[in-house]
Amino acid sequence: MASSAYQGPVFDMALAQFQDVADHLEIPEDRRMRLFMPKRTLMVSCPVRLDNGKTNVFQGYRVQHHLTLGPTKGGTRFAPSVDVGEVAALAIWMSWKCALAGLPYGGAKGGVAVDPMELSPRELEMLSRRYMQEMIPFIGPHTDVMAPDMGTNEQVMAWFMDTYSMYQGKTVAEIVTGKPVETGGTVGRREATGRGVAHLAFRAMEEIGLQPQGATAIVQGFGNVGSVAAHTLAARGVKIVGVSDHTAAYYNPAGLDIVALLDHARQNRILRGFSNELSIDPAELLIQPCDLLVPAAMERVIDAHNVEKLRCRIIAEGANGPTTPAADAVLDRRRDEIFVVPDLLCNAGGVIVSYFEWVQGLQQFFWSEDEVMERLYTALDRSWKQVRARATKDGISNRKAALAIGVQTVRRAKEVRGLFP
């Protein structure tokens, strides 16, 4: 690929995965970049007056990957690591994920390079509102719809929605998903990703003949996705033996008190301070023996250094991009030992229920939690069957099968629509 504005290890990873699957699908070289390169990107500077009276400027981004199937859709991340390459990779993965789930969206992603934990509530609100205000010319409920991701939550979505609506002179709830229910959000969205991860972890257990009752799990990341996944797994009898966040990691082979951990995280926003005796080196946590490993924090945590040491039977990827291509090659070789539920499939519950929220908002007709959950599990099971069938038919990994279905769906739509002008 000719040099581009999009760079960095996460972007390189998205490209390597794409080239691998494009080889498998025998996509001609000259058709590849039309599928892979993001359609458009907005970079903004967001000045915010801090509580100490000084002004800080935060860099913000939004990448829309392709517009072929409908509006773009994707989360907004507030994290120090955010740069345009990372956001572009996440937007590209969203495209394949939406296509695999059969949603009428292209992928998008946005982010601000900031540690939200270092901002006061007022500063966080000012930054959220300024970022959204800068985005107004670029997005819209039929153009690009935002959602939460790492470092953002329902409250941030409510500020986004309020800011956008104030500029339109009317309430436009459909501009974001993952909003509080009081502002037009859907029941079940907050829990959707974590519950979906647990649902597919149970499917994987069925597949390898493992009973949930008494199975053991380690969950990395205890935010929206990780905490809900851990809670849902524990409710069906899975013993959570390890958890971590960016401040602490705990391990107890006899099982951790998940309710106490959830309470601690709710009150303190972090896991640090929960226990001294149970602490473990975060890197060591990932390689402890367990039946199920759930990376639910960030990218590139399963890599060439630790993949051979993993002692789990299932990896259920709650995070986006937690496994590097080098580690993936090893997992492919260890396919009989470790069953991988790849991110595109495993964490799709979030965007599926976001789609439900968007549809409910457009129609102003709201569903019950039972309806949302039933439709979510039906959608995930459909994707699960497709991925398993494709992996078996082509003799490829679940990840490659998920990518192949996603890429092929977008490719077919582009071919049928033709090249403009």
Catalytic positions are 109
Nearer to ligand NAD, 149 or 291 (CB): 149
Residue 380 sits at φ, ψ, to 5 deg, of -65, -40
List CB contacts of 32: < 8 A, sequence separation 6 or more. Answer: 18, 19, 22
Nearer to ligand NAD, 35 or 91 (CB): 91
6 vs 11: CA distance, rounded Å: 7
Residue 62 sits at φ, ψ, to 5 deg, of -145, 125
- Nearest-approach distance from CB 388 to ligand NAD, in angstroms: 21
Burial class (CB in 10 A: 0-12, 13-18, 19+), 57: exposed
Nearer to ligand NAD, 298 or 404 (CB): 298
- Nearest-approach distance from CB 365 to ligand NAD, in angstroms: 23
Closest CA to 79 of 333, 297, 343: 297
- Nearest-approach distance from CB 377 to ligand NAD, in angstroms: 16
- Nearest-approach distance from CB 265 to ligand NAD, in angstroms: 8
Nearer to ligand NAD, 347 or 408 (CB): 347
- Nearest-approach distance from CB 213 to ligand NAD, in angstroms: 26
Nearer to ligand NAD, 136 or 260 (CB): 260
Q: Report whether 319 contacts 90 (CB < 8 A).
A: no
Burial of 225-258, coded b for 16+ CB within 10 Å and e otherwise, reads bbbbbbbbbbeeebbbbbbbbbebbbbbeeebeb
Asked if omega into 421 is within 30° of 0 (cis), the reply is yes
Number of residues that make up the chain: 421
Binding site for ligand NAD (CB under 6 A): 148-151, 193, 220-226, 244-246, 282, 296-298, 318-320, 347, 350
Q: Distance of CA 383 to CAs 22, 98, 108, 390, Å?
A: 20, 11, 21, 11
- Nearest-approach distance from CB 383 to ligand NAD, in angstroms: 14
Nearer to ligand NAD, 163 or 347 (CB): 347
Give me the residue label for tokens 């739509």: 413
Count helices and strands in the chain by DSSP H and E runs? 14, 11
> Which residue number places its CB atom closest to ligand NAD?
223
